Amino acid sequence: MTTEEFKNTVIPYSVKLYPMLFRILRNEEETRDALQELMLRLWNRKDELVKCTNQSAYIVTMARNYSFDLLKKKKPQAIDEKHEYRILNMEADGADSDTIERYEKVKQVIKDLPEKYRTVIEMRDIDGFSFDEIKEMTGYEVANLRVILSRARQKVKEEVEKIYDYDTSGKYARQIL
């Protein structure tokens, strides 16, 4: 693989990989460093990459594994610092404390989903991957992915409604979703 081929085929993945890495690492600077290191590792493995039948899956799997490796090595941070950082960023975006709380509840509900559902909903709704890209990475057919995504969204909706459904009309829960 030449430098030009690498620039045209691998570098464009960085746009799709950044949100996934950021979601896992939760730190902008670490995410940028990880993405740079990942591109370097991919360049060093360019001969393997050329032989690979599914480059997209290879790149995303390598990125995900690398980010989890970084998390394992990382020293535990104080929960208050991370939480404060996210709250400050949300408040800068104009979110009030109720919105911040609801956002955290929905994130927790997604985190508690079974792995298959969580992976698909994160890849589609948070990371923005297309169904074809998710198919390449997971091996599920597009029709199956649509069913999994629908069920995952339904489970999130049901759990959020359980949390916020103070009245029987469900009006408050529907505002969140």
pLDDT digits (tens, 9 = 90+) for 117-156: 998 998 888 877 888 888 888 888 999 999 999 999 999 8
Q: How many CB atoms lie within 10 A of CB 161?
A: 15
Domains 3-73 and 79-176 are alike in CATH topology: no
Locate the domains of the chain by residue range: 3-73, 79-176
Confidence band of 94 (pLDDT split at 50, 70, 90): low
C-alpha dist (Å) from residue 30 to 108, 127, 145: 23, 17, 31
Helix, strand and coil in the chain, % to nearest 5: 80, 0, 20
Beta carbons within 8 Å of 31's beta carbon, 6+ residues apart = 18, 21, 22, 25
* In CATH, 3-73 is 3.40.1360.10: no
* In CATH, 79-176 is 1.10.10.10: yes
Confidence band of 69 (pLDDT split at 50, 70, 90): confident
Which residue has 């081929």 as its token pair? Answer: 5
In the chain, % of residues over pLDDT 70: 80
Range with the largest mean pLDDT of 8-12, 66-70, 172-176: 8-12
Report the alpha-carbon distance of residue 83 to residue 88 in Å, rounded. Answer: 9
What mean pLDDT comes out for the span 27-56? 91
